[in-house]
Amino acid sequence: MRLFKTKYRDRSGRSKTAAKWYIEFRDQRDTTRRLPAFSSKAASEELGKNLDRLVSYHVATAGQTDPSLQGWIADLPKGIRRRLLEIGLIDSERASMSKPLSEHIADFRAGLESKGNTAKHVEATCTRISRILDGCRFTYWPQITGTKVQSFLNGLREGEEQLSAQTFNYYLGSLKSFCRWMVKNRRATSSPVSHLDPLNAKTDRRHDRRALSTEELLWLLAATAHGLPRAKMTGFERAMLYRVAIETGLRANEIRSLTTASFALNAIPPTVTVSAAYSKHRREDVLPIRPTLARDLAAFFEGAEKGKTAFAIPSESRVAGMLRGDLASAREAWISDAKTESEREERRKSEFLVYRDSAGKVADFQALRHTFITFLANGGVHPKTAQTLARHSTITLTMDRYSHTLKDAEVEALKSLPDIPSGKDSVATPPDRVEANGQNVLASCLAQNGSFRDSGGDPVRHRIEPEGTEPDDAKTPQSTGVSERSREAHRAIESSSAPWRNGRRSGLKIRGLSSGVWVQVPPGPFRNVCVRVTATSCGPCEPTASPAFSRVQGAWDHEGRGWREREGAAPPGA
């Protein structure tokens, strides 16, 4: 590489030295090249060194560009970059990195429009992208970093705007789609934001919708049909609009596109067609409608010109207000229909027909579509059929987002649970201690003073001997169906020669069932009694020298009726 300045003669013939430095170097084909550099010698020397690096890497990697020079290439003047592109040291992909992001966004917008996306979607997507890039002060592609993007979006969430998690994801998704487009069109090698994860929108829902109940729908349609004009529509027109939305699941923009020619009311079955230009997934949709709705629509359209707009639905901003007003009117009518003042007061406290309930869920126009799909799910319609009618791309969206569980369905679902005993037969609240004469006492005390009674055992692990059955004197816990571990504990106690101390054999450690152990109480009114208890303290009878045993879960009497658990089943001699 050689750095020099050229000389030339001006008009008067005087010799002059050029203000800019020039660089002479050999390219990847070993051809001598000259490039104008900068007026600064240091900057020109830096340019020459980077050109040598660029050529060396290009030769060593068979045409690749040094990744560490990407930012430098992006910052080069257009003339130098264009010259390097002509020489072949950089490709068109690298050259596009120096193109301003505003020009890339314009190309991206054109690509979205060519795919048939709606003007609203294109504008919203490009606006979000431009806001992020401007907020982070990104001018060229190499300047984009995931860290800065994350910080900017977090600032929007924590600042005055208080963006929801869903809106955060919309912004991030728009930028990611732009970066993927850059990579797909070979304007970049990789996306700098592909590693950024969206937020969990379920933890920060701001506008969740709810499904209306059947009774709410009936009151809404009846009150609206007899209501005053609103949003330049009569009450009857609004009621028919709501009914079409509820029985077809069509979105507001899709209904706005319908004409009288969109309905085939005499077909079998009757259908309504949404053209691909207005369908959300850009495909023509032909949906069946119920015969009763077809009959009422035929009367509604009677005398109308073919091709006339079916519903004079207002703009998107006014639709929500229109439905909110009709909900309020229907609620007032429902409250006024109460027979007594106390009933009216109760209705005022309820959330029947409210726009926003206590959970923050709203009943806007899109909620009518939610109601349609929820009724399909609750009516036992196959999930795949519900997905087809909802025109969703995945079954997950249909079932997770739109299948709101109604209260009636919840109550009906509880009926499938098995019957569980109540009262003294219930195992929900077993007694913690055995009581004798109103005092909490130990198992050993119960056996010695003859006050033994059962405290509720474990009916799953142990069989209750039928009343009147007299077991053999030699019968052991083995015959009751208890676990092998319990039988081993019983045999260990029987064969143990350890001395008795405070109602247990000292030094004898036996691991029993999950909730207790087998111990043998000293001889008393009931000889040779084994009880299964838990090792916990037990009130005034707690020994001072060793742990106490309480909560007798059952007893085996070798000379009585076997394993006893239920309250009131006292052993012989009690």
Q: Is 406 helix (H, G, I), strand (E, B) or coil?
A: coil
CB 228 within 8 A of CB 310: no
CB 326 within 8 A of CB 220: yes
**pLDDT value for 524:** 38
**pLDDT value for 276:** 80
Where would I find the beta strands (DSSP E) of 192-322? 263-264, 271-274, 285-288
Q: Residues 68-76: contacts with CB within 8 Å, 24+ apart?
A: 70/94, 70/97, 70/142, 71/142, 73/97, 73/98, 74/98, 74/140, 74/141, 74/142, 74/143, 75/140
**pLDDT value for 285:** 86
Q: Which residues contact 34 (CB under 8 A, 6 or more apart)?
A: 22, 23, 24
Measure the CA–CA gap between 476 and 493, rounded to whole angstroms: 13
For the chain, how many helices (H) and strands (E)? Answer: 21, 16
Q: Which two tokens stand for residue 88?
A: 């072949």
Find tokens 């600032």 and name the residue: 155
- Taking only the tens place, the pLDDT of each residue in 41-92 is 999 999 999 999 989 988 898 888 787 887 787 778 878 888 888 888 877 6
**pLDDT value for 495:** 52
Residue 388, exposed/middle/buried by CB under 10 A (0-12, 13-18, 19+)? middle
**pLDDT value for 237:** 93
Whole-prediction pTM value?
Answer: 0.51
Burial 35-71 (b: 16+ CB within 10 A, else e): bbbbeeeeebbebbebbeebbebbeeeeeebbeebbe
**pLDDT value for 28:** 87
For residue 10, how far is the Cα from the chain centroid?
75
Which phi and psi (to 5°) does residue 492 adopt? -65, -40
Q: Which residues of the chain have pLDDT under 70?
A: 92-98, 399-413, 415-416, 418-574
Torsion, Cα of 219, 222, 224, 228 (10° steps): -130
Q: Which domains does the chain have, with CATH numbers?
A: 2-96 (no CATH), 101-203 (1.10.150), 214-408 (1.10.443.10), 435-564 (no CATH)
Q: Which residues contact 141 (CB under 8 A, 6 or more apart)?
A: 74, 96, 97, 99, 101, 104, 182, 187, 188
**pLDDT value for 188:** 80
Measure the CA–CA gap between 248 and 408, rounded to whole angstroms: 23
**pLDDT value for 335:** 94
- Taking only the tens place, the pLDDT of each residue in 373-431 is 888 878 878 878 878 887 877 777 776 655 555 555 666 667 667 666 554 444 444 44
